[in-house]
Structure 1
């Protein structure tokens, strides 16, 4: 036994973005992938990999499709237990459901329980990396990183910062937000597969002083990501304009305080003004599309086609628990539906790319995760394209792989996840 493993199946990797040129030509299909330790050693014909590594363990997945693990670019792991809470607009939804649940994360034991549950649920759906908001409590960050570290999982997260327009039990201050964020960053950032994200929740819940403090911290640690929310709902935008009357637009409330940059992640970004689009593109910032959340909370329809045509950097996300599913398959289906409503349906190749390489690119991690190639980290998901009778009968009629994949994107769930590998380990 060599300690090396060959996975056989339809190994799908991307050679370019499917948003440039014919989507169906953006990927290649190989017979097998060789895992060596925590990384991918080679991809190619089965005979070649066998010859290169005699005695390697082989796992035959038949007609299953082997992909890079899904990358979820915007989540709130503390909202796991309250996912699918009924029917309110963003601000009421936060006050009714989110803030009371987030209060519980001052308890390290509760934070650890939910972090473990969240990582188990998402792994079952094929998600191998995510970028998460925590709560204002440092305990929530410690719990999430500790659980991820035990799994050898690449994750990004940060302490959520709020010093106004939230219940007193969920408010910090500009100084405590800076001090606690810096301490967590210095402890965890770059340890194993863990990265820290500076995390002001959004402009309405941070004073200018707190935004300034977060901007200063980011300037001191420019290799970190910064995550927040932007232009999710029209009433939210009106609220921001009332709170920041001197700002040119919503994005300017971040820009004025040093919170606009190429390693910035801006969740939702639905109702953008022309100046905001221009500035985001100039910086190469990440715009994170959260389709199940946008429909569930009634936020609006993300302009995927227009923003892609401009050259924006776009990732895909469940936005748990404003989003109504832990599944990136369900998220891809919702992105397709929103594209249809905007008159530009997304091809299966584009959906898979967004959930893997697109999100990894938004996180500035596409050299590590999000594709299958020699040297990449071995985070993989194996998809069964006949996981239910309804999916099986449709995929059996398919004339190519993309047509066979599409029913699983539209109707698949955790039953379609045949196997998951994280850091070279089957989970």
Structure 2
């Protein structure tokens, strides 16, 4: 049995800081320790006491660095890694100009493997240990992603993207039948195997026919432990497009609901321009809305109503949405979350930002208590933050009067240089 003890400042959560006063939801130890055995956290507590009680443990002393649960990216597109930060257009133009031509390249299994490897290595370098990704319509693109994650021991969710409507280019169209059959094969091959979960993945209503949505709804009903991920109400012109394609629908969400694609394991990206009925239904069924702040500003989509959705009782996760999102860093994603909320007149506390990037996103993916948590019994996926990683951050951190003033500059200005180490399944996988 391999036992490791990480020493440093520790931060864990005892509740949702959007629903209770944040002071009641967080536990900080200035001289803390995290004990890991065979890939799981077995204890957290006082570092000195844990060291004395476990003299045979391999010790990693991170000093004043902050030990957190590994970041959880709840919505991203690994096939878009190569086109991240392409010159911005509106969503539909961006898809046609950059995304769809790039995704056609994933018919080549070697190309898919190379991009899967690159994406996961970039994620780990930025402290992200769990991702939920769209793949392409190619069955092999999903295999490549799951295989790359397995090689690194990472917990991931992903799914083959389904598009059968002629609004998608010919080289990226499937059929209702092939979408069902290939997704079913991937579920049998990967779902619940090791640290992999499958997400049934219609890209969004404008690129699927009602027949395909119906088939995928049936597949989800047959495999209810799978996630279902898609996009919802990202841009106003997208919503008008949906209205034209689905004139009978009450709203955008209804295009999914009418075909069995609304449920508690539904994960809906962006979710910016919602009707009151859509807010109510997301809350009622326990579905997750995923905030993608750098993407929403980069493509000009709009301002996510974080506080309003949380008040309504909607589960909210946080995501980079690479490559529409302009950074692999969940630190930058938290910073953008803060900035967007400020524009809406909402001040988000550092505790709330860190919770969204860890436990909040894990809950959105139905992985609460599995990852995203610094607690006994959770899988030992961790990130260690250097709170003085650059000269400008260090000089601000030196003036900090408490932990929150110390960590906030890293949230707002940090990048991969702030990642002292990433741990996956109890093993360090980046620099220590």
Kindly report the root-mean-square deviation, in angstroms, between the aligned alpha carbons of the 2 structures.
0.8
Equivalent residues of 1:103, 1:170 under 8 A apart: yes
Q: 1:287 corresponds to which residue?
A: 289
1:349 aligned residue (343, 348, 351):
351
Equivalent residues of 2:8, 2:47 under 8 A apart: no
Shift of 1:53: 1.7
Listed as ranges, the matches of 1:181-220 within 5 Å are 181-220=183-222
Query: Separation in 2 of the partners of 1:337 and 1:253?
Result: 32
Query: Separation in 2 of the partners of 1:254 and 1:186?
Result: 24
Q: 1:4 corresponds to which residue?
A: 3
Equivalent residues of 2:71, 2:330 under 8 A apart: yes
Q: 1:73 corresponds to which residue?
A: 74
> How big is each residue's C-alpha offset from its partner over 1:328-348, in whole Å with a ceiling of 9 and x where there is no partner?
000000000000000002110
> How big is each residue's C-alpha offset from its partner over 1:276-327, in whole Å with a ceiling of 9 and x where there is no partner?
0111100000100000000000000000011111111000000000000000
Unaligned ranges ≥5, structure 2: none
Matched, 1:362 2:364: yes
Listed as ranges, the matches of 1:8-157 within 5 Å are 8-30=7-29, 31-157=32-158
Q: Give the TM-score normalised by the residue count of structure 2.
A: 0.98
Query: Separation in 1 of the partners of 2:67 and 2:110?
Result: 36
Q: 1:421 corresponds to which residue?
A: 423
Query: Separation in 2 of the partners of 1:279 and 1:190?
Result: 28
Please state whether the residue corresponding to 2:20 is helix, strand or coil.
Answer: coil
Shift of 1:54: 2.0
Shift of 1:24: 3.8
Query: Separation in 1 of the partners of 2:146 and 2:21?
Result: 40
Query: Separation in 2 of the partners of 1:225 and 1:217?
Result: 11
Equivalent residues of 1:24, 1:402 under 8 A apart: no
> How big is each residue's C-alpha offset from its partner over 1:39-88, in whole Å with a ceiling of 9 and x where there is no partner?
00100012321233222111111110000000000000000000000020
- Deviation beyond 3 Å, 4+ runs, structure 1: none
Query: Separation in 1 of the partners of 2:88 and 2:52?
Result: 58
Query: Separation in 2 of the partners of 1:107 and 1:52?
Result: 53
Equivalent residues of 1:293, 1:322 under 8 A apart: yes
Q: 1:405 corresponds to which residue?
A: 407
Matched, 1:225 2:221: no
Q: 2:237 corresponds to which residue?
A: 235
Please state whether the residue corresponding to 2:88 is helix, strand or coil.
Answer: coil
Deviating more after overlay: 230-239 vs 13-22: 13-22
Deviating more after overlay: 21-30 vs 185-194: 21-30
Please state whether the residue corresponding to 2:230 is helix, strand or coil.
Answer: strand
Q: 1:372 corresponds to which residue?
A: 374
> How big is each residue's C-alpha offset from its partner over 1:5-42, in whole Å with a ceiling of 9 and x where there is no partner?
11110111001111123324421123111011110010
